[in-house]
Amino acid sequence: MLTFIIRRLLIVIPMALLVVTVTWVLIRIAPGNFYSGEKKIPAAIEANIRKKYGLDQPWYKQYGMMMSNVIRGDFGDSLKYQGQSVNEIIIRHLPYSATIGVLAYLLALLVGLAAGTIAALKQNSLFDYGSMSIAMLGLSVPNFVLGPILILIFAFWVYVLPPARWGGISALVLPVITLGAIYAAYIARLTRAGMLEVLRSDYIRTARAKGLDERTVLFRHAFRGGIVPVVSFTGPALAGLLAGTVVVERVFAIPGLGNIFIQAVQNRDEPLILGIVAFISIMILVFNLLVDISYGFIDPRIRFE
Amino acid sequence: MDQALEDIKGASPWSDAWKRLLKNSLAVFGLIVLIVMILAVIVGPSIIEWTTGYTYDLVPAQHELVKAMPPSISHPFGTDDLGRDLLARVLQGGRISLMVGIISTFVSLVVGVSYGAIAGYVGGKMDNLMMRIVDIIYAIPYMLIVIVLLAVFGGPNTKALVTWIPQIVAGSLIFILGILLAVLIYRRMLAGFSSTAGLATQYPVKGLLIVILASALLGIIYLSSLAIGSTSLGPSLADWYGTNLSQGVSQIFLLFFALGLVSWLTMARVVRGQILSLKNQEFVIAAKATGVSPFMIIFRHLIPNALGPVIVYATLTVPAVMLTEAFLSYLGLGVQAPYASWGSLSFDGVKNLAIFPWQLIFPGVTMALTLFSLNFLGDGIRDALDPQTRKF
């Protein structure tokens, strides 16, 4: 178990560096530069800019410089937001994205697990068909359609929630629902399928046969096996939440990390892009590791290689 | 009695599955909506042009201040900011959205099935290596990289990418051949060490010949790729591309590339699992015994038998890819004006949400309906092909 964790942790760093390298190569091989725009820059000024940012060095030196900065965790200053370091910008904008992301996933877990479990217990009932049809609908409506429609209904037709703004709980409701809906739908479907399979297994029959009451059977025995698919979905869900926050932040004008990333990419603000990419990669890789570790606690039958 | 037996026609698994699919009313609903949608996007734009003269990029010469019209008889879906007919744009956008979904899924099918089948069939160290590569790519937050790729290579910069196509093709060929060669030599060496009458004594000439021939082939390809790089093939390709294809189209090709790049991973895993369970069955051993080549065993015997899960997964990949495309177009990185996709139309609609809500509702609902049908159809096909899951 410990060796498993250490081995996986040792993979995280090279993987994150690989992602940073791929991103760096993509930015560098594309024609143009961050300073190339509509206006033509005089050659002398261009030479000065290139010198200041080390662009006059050979590529391997530039790569080495970039890599040593990244490894030290110092990405330097943003090119667009003068005088602000990349780390400052990330720390300033992360709380917005993290709040929405965590709340959305909690909402999805709550709704999805409850709906999925009840649907599995009352299989082929009206609730089962109803909740699964709603889940399918949730999977099919893109969040950039759902969000604006919710704004239209709750902010423009019925004046109960603000359309876009940060501050206060009321402003969180719509973004969190928009982001969480698709995951609630996924989790409900996974939970239902997982629970149906587990409820039919031998160890549940044994538990019932030895006279345990239904609640113990359900929560102590069935639930643990039934939610394994949900746990393995957490990894992809995290990556998806990330993409989702980009859209939701755009729709609701929230100054989160996703919005900053899109702006940085469009400005070709290299240090900021690399910083965000490295940060998010490490976060996703570490979360995937945590998910893998948690398998062993949830389902004792799963062993680490 | 023999006659009676012959009269009973055995139902093939496929016709059986088809019957089960037709019993699933939601899947049939999905199938019908999908067929209607595909017909509509294929012939719809032409019909609208014949009857009313509106096309997806026709900007009417009118002098009113507000050009966005609510839905009416002449414009069933209303018009957009420039007065373009929204129905024509939604249908045109559907063409691109569905095309992106289908082509990217096809790419992921070809790459994923071949990759997974080879890994599963060859097995051993090769399988381990190939699947490790998939694991690594899988763990990469590809959305970040796709966003960067589309942003820096979108627009006029796609031309630079086209210039490098010959080198990229030659480079990947060399890479694949190099790996094959390495595996070949490795196997020869293993055979040489493990058997008492090894490589050197058993096939002294043949083994050496293969290595020399393969190296020569590699050298020729390398030299020719250098030659291609120095010729004007790349630049002339870029010139042709620049004069014949508009920027909107170039962005669509970039989308295919970016989406195809990542969607084959799960397919490869699914196929590999299937092949692993199939490859030790009697019919494969029989094929091996009669001297069928590994290539033919994989593509004639193994893949057709693994087709069920592949079809199911492909049906579910289409909506996933379409959703990703819409997401990228929504961020302004995908399809560019004057072309439209459901994602970019939704994006345009959101800007005017409070005043002209129909600009979001029509493309959004059309897309949601299509994805809804695709998901139901995929679920239905899975239930039909795998009757065991239906028992639940």
Mean pLDDT calculated for residue range A77-97 = 82
Distance CA A98, CA A13 (A): 22
Q: Say what the pLDDT of residue A32 is.
A: 67
Distance CA B126, CA B123 (A): 6
Rounded to a whole number of angstroms, the distance from the CA of A150 to the nearest CA of chain B is 11
Rounded to a whole number of angstroms, the distance from the CA of A235 to the nearest CA of chain B is 9
* CB-CB neighbors (< 8 A) of A30 in chain B: 152-153, 157, 160
* CB-CB neighbors (< 8 A) of B364 in chain A: 141-142, 145, 148-149
Q: Which whole-number Å values give the CA distances from A149 to A120, B186, B341, B362, in the listed order? A: 31, 60, 19, 11
Distance CA B311, CA A227 (A): 27
The values of phi and psi at residue B306, to 5°, are -100, 10
Asked if B147 and A261 come within 8 Å (Cβ–Cβ), the reply is yes
B82 burial (CB, 10 Å; 0-12 / 13-18 / 19+) is middle
Rounded to a whole number of angstroms, the distance from the CA of A15 to the nearest CA of chain B is 8
**Binding-face residues of A in 34-93 toward B, CB within 8 A:** none
Which of A140, A149, A197 has the CB atom closest to B372's CB atom?
A140
Which of A30, A196, A288 has the CB atom closest to B153's CB atom?
A30
Helices and strands per DSSP (H, E), number in chain A: 13, 0
Which of B139, B350, B360 has the CB atom closest to A15's CB atom?
B139
Structure confidence at residue A94 as a pLDDT band (50, 70, 90): confident
Distance CA B333, CA B249 (A): 13
Distance CA A9, CA A18 (A): 15
**A134 near B CB under 8 A:** no
Distance CA A192, CA A184 (A): 12
User: In b/e form, how buried is each residue of B265-302, taking b as 16+ CB within 10 angstroms?
Assistant: bbbbbbbbebbbebbeeeebeebeeeeeeeeebbeebb
* CB-CB neighbors (< 8 A) of A27 in chain B: 148, 152
Q: Summarize pLDDT for A207-266 with one digit per residue, the tens.
A: 888 877 777 777 777 777 777 777 777 776 776 777 678 888 888 888 888 888 888 887
Please calculate the CA angle A171-A175-A180 and round it to the nearest 5 degrees: 140
Q: Summarize pLDDT for A97-113 with one digit per residue, the tens.
A: 888 888 888 898 889 88
Distance CA B276, CA B278 (A): 6
Nearest CA in chain B to A19: B140
Nearest-10 crossing angle of helices A86-121, A170-199: 50
Distance CA A182, CA A240 (A): 10
* DSSP-derived secondary structure for A9-61: HHHHHHHHHHHHHHHHHHHHHSSS-TT-SSSPPPHHHHHHHHHHTTTTS-HHH
A283 burial (CB, 10 Å; 0-12 / 13-18 / 19+) is middle
Q: Say what the pLDDT of residue B114 is.
A: 82
Asked if B145 and A23 come within 8 Å (Cβ–Cβ), the reply is yes
* CB-CB neighbors (< 8 A) of A136 in chain B: 372, 375-376, 379
Nearest CA in chain B to A153: B354
A14 burial (CB, 10 Å; 0-12 / 13-18 / 19+) is exposed
Which of A19, A262, A266 has the CB atom closest to B140's CB atom?
A19
**A151 near B CB under 8 A:** yes
Asked if A136 and B160 come within 8 Å (Cβ–Cβ), the reply is no
Spatial contact of A13 and A286, defined as CB atoms under 8 Å apart: no
Phi-psi region of A244 (alpha: psi -120 to 50; beta: other; left: phi over 0): alpha
Rounded to a whole number of angstroms, the distance from the CA of B146 to the nearest CA of chain A is 9
**CA B92 to chain CA centroid, nearest Å:** 20
Q: Is the peptide bond before B166 cis (omega within 30 degrees of 0)?
A: no
Helices of type H across chain B: 2-7, 13-23, 25-51, 86-122, 124-139, 142-153, 158-163, 165-194, 199-202, 204-230, 233-244, 247-278, 282-289, 294-296, 303-305, 307-330, 342-351, 358-385, 387-390
The values of phi and psi at residue A33, to 5°, are -155, 175
Provide the percentage of residues in chain B whose pLDDT is more than 90: 0
* DSSP-derived secondary structure for B35-70: HHHHHHHHHHHHHHHHHT---TT-------S-----
Structure confidence at residue A35 as a pLDDT band (50, 70, 90): low
Spatial contact of B192 and B198, defined as CB atoms under 8 Å apart: yes
Longest distance between any two alpha carbons in chain A, whole Å: 86
Token digits of residue A22:
């791929």
* CB-CB neighbors (< 8 A) of B347 in chain A: 144
**Binding-face residues of A in 229-268 toward B, CB within 8 A:** 239, 242-243, 246-247, 250-251, 261-262, 265-266, 268
- Show the low-confidence residues of chain B (pLDDT under 50): 1, 196-200, 389-392
Q: Say what the pLDDT of residue B348 is.
A: 78
Distance CA B371, CA B342 (A): 11
Rounded to a whole number of angstroms, the distance from the CA of A42 to the nearest CA of chain B is 22
Q: Which value, in Å, is the radius of gyration of the alpha carbons in chain B?
A: 26
Which of B148, B323, B392 has the CB atom closest to A196's CB atom?
B392
* CB-CB neighbors (< 8 A) of A142 in chain B: 323, 326-327, 330, 343, 346, 364, 367-368, 371
What residues have CB less than 8 Å from A196, skipping those under 6 apart? A120, A123, B392
More confident residue, A15 or B77: A15
Among A31-35, A184-188, A275-279, name the one with the lowest average pLDDT: A31-35
Q: Does the global pTM surpass 0.90? A: no
A-B contacts (CB, under 8 Å): 127
3-class SS of residue A85: strand
DSSP-assigned letter for residue B79: B
Nearest CA in chain A to B159: A31
Single out the residue of B83, B84, B104, B102 nearest to residue B94, CA to CA: B102
Token digits of residue B289:
């015994």
Distance CA B371, CA B236 (A): 40
**CA B239 to chain CA centroid, nearest Å:** 27
Asked if B350 and A148 come within 8 Å (Cβ–Cβ), the reply is yes
Asked if A239 and B347 come within 8 Å (Cβ–Cβ), the reply is no
Q: Residue A79: pLDDT above 80?
A: no
